[in-house]
């Protein structure tokens, strides 16, 4: 019998623990479910066993970098969307990212948390945010 895949809103892929915490807090405030992967390779394993609506992907990581991970994810699941969050968004990288069908946007580190929240809301419009 085939195991049922879990449905999770967001996968955070970043090797920086402080950024994992920051993004986790933003997602908790939005009422969004999430998992965390520290490398592109770990993210690939999670995507094989779960269904994610959105992936927040760093570029510079150990094992697989973000671009390698994004390209490998394209084979696994066509429905997900990727927002790249990186300090290394030079013009060559942006040109590569713009060719990737899964990539719906990017943010440069350090980023404004409100900007990330807005991007997440655009990708996951069904989320109801609780007014404070």
Given this model, what pLDDT does residue 34 score?
98
Given this model, what pLDDT does residue 62 score?
85
Q: What is the CATH number of the domain that holds 61?
A: 3.40.50.2300
How far, in whole angstroms, is CA 122 from its chain's centroid? 14
pLDDT beyond 80 at 3: no
123 vs 132: CA distance, rounded Å: 22
- Nearest to residue 47, comparing CAs of 16, 87, 82? 82
Given this model, what pLDDT does residue 128 score?
52
Contacts of 49 (CB under 8 A, 6+ apart): 3, 5, 6
In this predicted model, which residue has the larger pLDDT, 126 or 43? 43
Residue 104 lies in a domain: yes
Given this model, what pLDDT does residue 77 score?
58
Residue 127 lies in a domain: no
pLDDT digit string, tens, across residues 61-108: 988 889 999 988 877 755 679 999 999 999 999 999 999 999 999 999
Residue 108 lies in a domain: yes
Range of the domain at 111: 6-121
User: Taking residues 43-67, what's their average pLDDT?
Assistant: 92
Residue 128 lies in a domain: no
In this predicted model, which residue has the larger pLDDT, 30 or 76? 30
When mean pLDDT is compared over 21-35, 65-79, 114-128, the highest value belongs to 21-35
Given this model, what pLDDT does residue 125 score?
73
Please state the pTM of the whole predicted model. 0.89
Residue 129 lies in a domain: no
Residue 1 lies in a domain: no
- Residue that is written with structure tokens 């950024």 in the block: 19
Query: What is the number of H-type helices and E-type strands within the chain?
Result: 5, 5
pLDDT band for position 132 (cuts 50, 70, 90): very low
- The number of folded domains in the chain is 1
Residue 82 lies in a domain: yes
Residue 131 lies in a domain: no
76 vs 113: CA distance, rounded Å: 29
């Amino acid at each position: 019998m085939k195991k049922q895949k879990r449905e999770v809103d967001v996968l955070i892929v970043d090797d920086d623990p402080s950024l994992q915490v920051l993004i986790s807090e933003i997602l908790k405030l939005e009422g969004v479910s999430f998992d965390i992967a520290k490398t592109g390779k770990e993210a690939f394993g999670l995507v094989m066993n779960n269904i994610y609506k959105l992936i927040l992907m760093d570029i510079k990581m150990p094992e697989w970098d973000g671009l390698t991970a994004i390209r490998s994810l394209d084979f696994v699941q066509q429905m997900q969307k990727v927002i790249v969050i990186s300090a290394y968004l030079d013009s060559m990288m942006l040109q590569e990212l713009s060719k990737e069908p899964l990539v719906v946007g990017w943010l440069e580190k350090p980023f404004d948390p409100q900007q990330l929240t807005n991007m997440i809301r655009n990708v996951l419009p069904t989320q109801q945010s609780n007014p404070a």
